[in-house]
Structures are given as structure tokens and as C-alpha cells.
């Protein structure tokens, strides 16, 4: 396994489209997941390879020596030779010993699922934070496996942590890896602390987050909703960093939309742990848009994988809307959720309306009466609340509105004023559009 100190990653395949043989194995009572072979092809392609052949196997349990058994190893060797492939990619995690024996028996380089996905993440990392996170994930994955590796962590920095008396090379590698992990964890902790402080200043913002399986069009959907200019590419894990943009013109406070890393079935736990800071935007969302690919034959299985991942992140209780993208490529209507086409503009207005309704559903509504209010107070209400009606009679002004972060924020603002006012809580907004009336007082 290649480990890069910059987090940039080392491609598992040589320059050009290297031919690869994929091996999919189901164990015990499990069956090969629907779409698993196509997903492996996409993963290999994203890493720079080309699938020349694909083999599958069902076993009651993994073979301790080679994972697939000697008979299957020979079949794999012959398939690789016939296809002219020099690399094998397994859709399971392997032990270092299994990798070594498979490479010796087949004469091919062997890569397991976690190493492949991590390499793709490393290749797509653009920001300093993403590079730190992927390097941390790679090191956490490698540390317990060092005893079975034949090469060492030479890329972690020459001359740092030189060998002490009586240390073996393995002990040196472990010590250097642990030291680097500790340094990365400390840097990520500081990044997390800065993010928490930043979010505290933005607590009045309603946060909508796009989440879903990788390569279902989340970034394209964000561009359709916000005109954000987010990088869009038709490959897995094209987005690793969180992008946040203001969403439309929502009266009464700011609504933002965030696009974050896509999920995949059996996402390596080291990646989930290392990308905790990036994924925090999911846990802290006010509303999740679960985006799926309506044209995919395996959309239901992919969506279930996303829901399971969200539960594991502690985001299972956050309100959510299921959004099926690529409706223009699908021949059917979803049983549940909203069908849209980010490229074709289908359903985008309906999605914005649903988001608006979701935001309005959490507002705390109030009826505020003010005597000769100043312009600053009225302007603040219009900027920070969803105002549904304003009635002006003589010197009195009555405003019915909803406050996103609660009525207490409105009371705190009004207490700074010297004019008389009275705020009464109400159950919900008046029906109809925003109304504004004025007239002379009866007095």
C-alpha cells in the first residue's frame, strides 16, 4: 500500500488505462450486492484503470491464506494472463499476508477495496483539510497492517525519528506512523474547533445539506438550485470538500445549501473517522436532501446504504426529503420522494417550495404590536423573520411573522427599543401571501 505524506496519494495503476481483473466474493449467507460489478468498474475507472475481466465467487467463509482458496487463485491467474492484466482488485478487505500470497501465486499486484477507495479519495482531494483527512485515514489503515508489509513508510519524511538502539525497522515504522497520526489528529482538532466557533456565529442560518450516494448528481443539483459553479464530473467521489452557498431569496433569514462527499456501500471506517470534520455539516443540518439516481437499476439499494450511513453518523433523526435526480433519463415515477432533473430543470421550483415549507414548519410564529416603532426595528424584523402581514394604523404597527431561532431572539431585539411593544405567541402563519395594509386610527 502506498502512503503519501502530503495526502496526495499514489495511484494504484500505472500511467494510462492499466488492465485490471476484479474479484467479487460473497461470504456465508450474503449475496453479491446488486450493481456491485458495475460499481467496481466505476471505482477502477476513477482510479485510472480499466476492467479487462471480472470474476465472482461464493464461499461459506474466507480462506485464511488467500481469501478465495487455491483453486480460485489459479482461475484468477489464468484470467489475468489471458486478459493481459497486471493488477487484481478485490471487492473485500484483505490481510497483508493474503495480499502477499496472492501476489506470489498470480504474479500480479493486488489491491483490496479499502485501499482502492482511499486512493481515489487521495487523488480527488483538493483542499488542505481534505488532504490531511485522507492522509490520516491512510495511516490509520496501514498502522495495524505494518507487520505484514514488505515495504516501509519511507514517504513520511527522511531523517525524522531515527532508529533507536535495538529497534527493528518495523518498530521504527510503527513509531513514525503513530507520531504522524498524533500530529494529524492535533491539526484536525484545531480545524474542528475553528469550525465550531464559525458555526456558532452562524446559528441563525437554516442549513440544508445535499447527501446521497456518490455520482448521483448532487453537485449538478446544487448548481441548479444556487448557480454555485460547483465542480461537476461524471466519476465517483469527484466532490470531497464541503461547498456551501446561499439558497434563493428566503424572507426572514438566510438559508444555505451544502454539497458534501458522496457515500458508497461499505465506506471504509477509517475514511468516516478521518472525514469527521467534513461530515459534521451533515450531523448539524436542519434539513437533509437525500439524493438518488432515478435512472439507476440499484437506486433503492443505494438509498438504503445512504440511510444506514446517516444513522451511523448520528444524523438519523434529522428531517429529510428524498430527491430522485436524473428523472429525464428514467422511465418511471418514484414511489416516494420528488423526481427532478438537475440538468433539465425539471422539478427544481417544486423542490425550492418544499424546502421553503420545511423551513417555515420550524419557525416560531408571533403577533407583535408596536407603538410608533423606529425604522431600524421594523427593518430588523423583515431581515430576520418571515413576515406574513404588516398592518399600520396611525402610529401603531402590527406584524405577524415567524422567527427561525425562536421568539426569544425577537424579544431580545425588541428590549433594546424605547417604544411600547407587546409580543404574543401564535400557533402558525396566516393563510395566503404576504399582506400589507394601512389606514387611519380610530382615535
Question: Which range among 148-152, 237-241, 258-262, 365-369 has the greatest average pLDDT?
Answer: 365-369
Domain at 204-360, CATH class: alpha beta
Give residue 281's pLDDT: 82
Question: Is pLDDT of 111 > 70?
Answer: yes
Question: Is pLDDT of 286 > 80?
Answer: yes
Can you give the three-state secondary structure of 348-381, one letter per residue?
HHHHHHHHHHHHHHCCEEEEEEEECCCHHHHHHH
Question: Is pLDDT of 150 > 60?
Answer: no
Q: Average the pLDDT over 88-105 and give the result.
A: 92
Domain at 18-121, CATH class: alpha beta
CA–CA distance, 47 with 119 (Å, rounded to integer): 7
Lowest mean pLDDT among 131-135, 286-290, 363-367: 131-135
Give residue 151's pLDDT: 43
Q: Which residue has the higher pLDDT, 131 or 288?
A: 288
Question: Is pLDDT of 173 > 50?
Answer: yes
Lowest mean pLDDT among 71-75, 77-81, 280-284, 392-396: 280-284
Give residue 13's pLDDT: 57
Give residue 163's pLDDT: 42
Closest CA to 325 of 289, 364, 362: 289
Closest CA to 346 of 364, 327, 330, 362: 327
CA–CA distance, 73 with 193 (Å, rounded to integer): 49
| Residue 95 CA: distances (Å) to CA of 63, 115, 239 | 11, 12, 29
Buried b (16+ CB within 10 A) or exposed e, 179-209: ebbeebeeebeebeeebeeeeeeeeebbbbb
Q: Which residue has the higher pLDDT, 126 or 364?
A: 364
Q: Residues 359, 402: contact at Cβ < 8 Å?
A: no
CA–CA distance, 246 with 397 (Å, rounded to integer): 31
Closest CA to 423 of 367, 378, 364, 365: 367
Residue 339: pLDDT band (50, 70, 90) is very high
CATH number, domain 363-439 = 3.30.70
Neighbours of 403 (CB within 10 A): 24
Give residue 271's pLDDT: 72
Question: Is pLDDT of 29 > 60?
Answer: yes
**Residue 269 neighbours by CB under 8 Å, 6+ apart:** none
What percentage of residues in the chain have a pLDDT greater than 70? 81
Q: Average the pLDDT over 364-377 and give the result.
A: 92
Q: Indicate the pTM of the whole model.
A: 0.73
Axis crossing angle, helix 128-142 with helix 169-201, rounded to the nearest 10: 140
Residue 130: pLDDT band (50, 70, 90) is confident
Give residue 4's pLDDT: 30
**219: its cell numbers:** 453537485
Buried b (16+ CB within 10 A) or exposed e, 51-86: bbbbbebeeeebbeebbbeeebbeebbebbeeeebb
User: Whole-angstrom distance between the N-terminal and C-terminal Cα of the chain?
Assistant: 84
Amino acid at each position: 500500500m502506498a502512503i503519501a505524506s502530503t495526502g496526495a496519494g499514489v495511484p494504484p495503476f500505472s500511467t494510462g488505462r492499466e488492465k485490471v481483473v476484479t474479484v467479487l466474493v460473497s461470504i456465508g449467507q450474503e449475496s453479491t450486492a446488486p450493481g456491485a460489478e458495475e460499481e467496481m468498474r466505476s471505482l477502477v475507472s476513477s482510479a485510472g484503470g480499466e476492467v479487462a475481466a471480472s470474476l465472482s465467487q461464493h464461499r461459506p467463509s474466507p480462506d485464511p491464506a488467500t481469501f478465495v482458496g487455491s483453486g480460485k487463485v489459479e482461475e484468477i491467474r489464468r484470467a489475468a494472463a489471458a486478459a493481459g492484466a497486471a493488477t487484481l482488485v478485490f471487492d473485500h478487505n484483505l490481510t497483508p499476508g493474503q495480499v502477499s500470497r496472492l501476489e506470489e501465486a498470480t504474479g500480479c499486484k493486488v489491491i483490496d477495496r479499502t485501499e482502492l477507495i482511499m486512493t481515489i479519495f487521495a487523488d480527488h482531494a483538493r483542499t488542505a483539510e481534505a488532504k490531511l483527512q485522507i492522509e490520516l485515514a491512510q495511516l490509520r489503515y496501514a498502522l495495524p497492517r505494518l507487520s505484514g508489509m514488505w515495504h516501509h513508510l519511507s514517504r513520511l519524511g527522511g531523517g525524522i525519528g531515527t532508529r533507536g538502539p535495538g529497534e527493528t525497522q518495523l518498530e521504527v515504522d510503527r513509531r513514525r506512523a503513530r507520531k504522524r497520526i498524533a500530529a494529524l489528529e492535533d491539526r484536525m482538532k484545531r480545524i474542528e474547533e475553528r469550525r465550531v466557533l464559525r458555526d456558532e456565529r452562524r446559528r441563525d442560518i437554516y442549513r440544508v445539506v445535499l447527501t446521497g450516494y456518490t455520482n448521483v448528481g448532487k453537485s449538478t443539483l446544487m448548481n441548479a438550485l444556487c448557480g454555485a459553479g460547483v465542480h461537476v464530473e461524471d466519476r465517483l467521489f469527484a466532490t470531497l470538500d464541503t461547498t456551501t452557498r446561499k439558497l434563493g431569496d428566503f424572507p426572514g433569514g438566510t438559508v444555505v445549501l451544502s454539497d458534501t462527499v458522496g457515500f458508497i456501500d461499505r465506506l471504509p471506517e477509517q475514511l468516516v473517522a478521518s472525514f469527521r470534520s467534513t461530515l459534521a455539516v451533515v450531523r448539524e443540518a436542519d434539513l437533509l436532501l437525500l439524493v438518488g439516481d432515478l435512472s439507476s437499476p440499484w437506486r433503492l439499494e443505494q438509498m438504503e446504504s445512504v440511510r444506514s450511513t446517516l444513522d451511523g453518523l448520528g444524523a438519523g433523526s434529522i428531517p429529510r426529503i428524498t430527491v430522485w435526480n436524473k428523472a429525464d433519463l428514467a422511465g418511471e415515477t418514484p414511489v416516494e420522494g420528488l423526481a427532478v432533473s438537475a440538468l433539465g430543470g425539471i422539478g427544481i421550483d417544486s423542490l425550492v417550495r418544499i424546502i421553503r415549507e420545511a423551513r417555515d414548519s420550524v419557525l416560531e410564529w408571533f403577533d407583535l404590536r408596536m407603538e410608533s416603532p423606529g425604522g431600524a426595528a421594523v427593518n430588523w424584523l423583515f431581515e430576520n423573520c418571515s413576515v406574513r402581514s404588516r398592518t399600520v394604523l396611525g402610529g401603531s404597527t402590527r406584524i405577524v411573522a415567524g422567527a427561525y431561532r425562536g421568539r426569544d431572539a425577537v424579544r431580545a431585539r425588541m428590549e433594546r427599543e424605547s417604544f411600547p411593544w407587546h409580543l404574543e405567541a401564535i400557533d402558525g402563519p396566516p393563510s395566503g401571501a404576504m399582506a400589507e395594509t394601512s389606514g387611519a386610527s380610530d382615535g
